[in-house]
Amino acid sequence: MTTTTIARTTETALSPADTLNRNGFVRIPGLLDPQFMDTLLLRAHARLFRESAEAREKVKSNGSLCHLSDSPEFADIIGHKGLIDTLRGLGASDPRWTGGFLISKPAGGPPLFWHQDWWGWTEPESYKARPQQWFAMIYLTDTTPENGCLRVIPGSHRHDHPLHHLEAAHSAELQGFLNPDNPAFAAHPDEVAVPVTAGDVLVGDARLIHSAYGNATAHERPLLTLWYMPHWDTMSPGMQARAMMGYMRNDDIVTPERPLTPLDWTPELRARVEDVLPTMEGSPSPIAWVRTPDVTRFAA
């Protein structure tokens, strides 16, 4: 039997920013108030009600992948002042939102596969300490290993790890949970569980290897994952151009023929996110979309 290690933020005297830099993730407790969380939860359930069973079955391991650009009713969390101020407090010089998903694991849903989400591994800055992309995860209910909380490999955003050498993540086979015996779903002795209370926010480096436990309960476990570039103003033009492709939904993620972006939102809703939307000048060539690191380039 594998013993689950629980992340304990009280066990370290590091600041939140230093914890994020060292471990690749940090929990910010109680950032969002209960009333606001209730409204997010209601909106999430309404959005899931509109998602087809077929669409959810294709991403059974994730549970759902509802792009938030299709759901402008979440504008107030994307541009939430407390959240953006928190990102700045963690070191973000110019945080810009480039996308996000409602990722909800249904009752009885399987575990999520191990993966990391960074796509710029051709570039030398991807192997340095300064992050290029963060996730902000907002679980809408209290979340534990029993109902599918996050599990991570601390420090894997900067160092080689055996899980880097699994098959490429995000394949149809992994997302559909077609082979439950695939090692990408297995427990790992280095894993750390990150349970949260609704209202907490988890901020993590896109390079961090992570997954989620299965949901062994009889209730849905909804999560909003928001993607921010913390240093947009100093990203290379090629990285900005590739990030803009994701923001405009013109990348390798399958979308409807005419997917929505915040450019399609009403002026009132767009105003809520205007300060964190990415913009760029000119038409630089985007870097290649590469999600597999060259582990020989990690720092010793």
Q: Is the pLDDT of residue 281 over 70?
A: yes
1 band by pLDDT with thresholds 50, 70 and 90: very low
The reported pTM is 0.94
Residue 81 domain flag: yes
Assigned domain for 58 exists: yes
What is the total count of domains within the chain?
Answer: 1
Give the chain's mean pLDDT: 94
CATH code for the domain of 123: 2.60.120.620
What does the H/E/C string look like for the chain? CCCCEECCHHHCCCCHHHHHHHHCEEEECCCCCHHHHHHHHHHHHHHHHHCCHHHHHHCCCCCCCEEHHHCHHHHHHHCCHHHHHHHHHCCCCECEEEEEEECCECCCCCCEEEECCCCECCCHHHHCCCCCCEEEEEECCCECCCCCCEEECCCCCCCCCHHHHCCCCCCHHHHCCCCCCCHHHCCCCCCEEECECECEEEEEECCCCEEECCCCCCCCECEEEEEEECEHHHCCHHHHHHHHHHHCCCCCCCCCCCCCCHHHCCHHHHHCCHHHCCCCCCCCCCCCCECCCCHHHCCC
pLDDT greater at residue 295 or residue 254 = 295
pLDDT in tens, 150-178: 999 999 999 999 999 998 888 999 999 99
Quickly state the pLDDT bin for 250 (edges 50, 70, 90).
confident
Specify if 243 maps to a domain. yes
10 within a domain of the structure (yes/no):
no
Residue 280 within a domain: no
Residue 44 lies in a domain: yes
Residue 95 lies in domain: 21-259+285-297
Residue 8 lies in a domain: no
Q: Does residue 201 belong to any structural domain of this protein?
A: yes
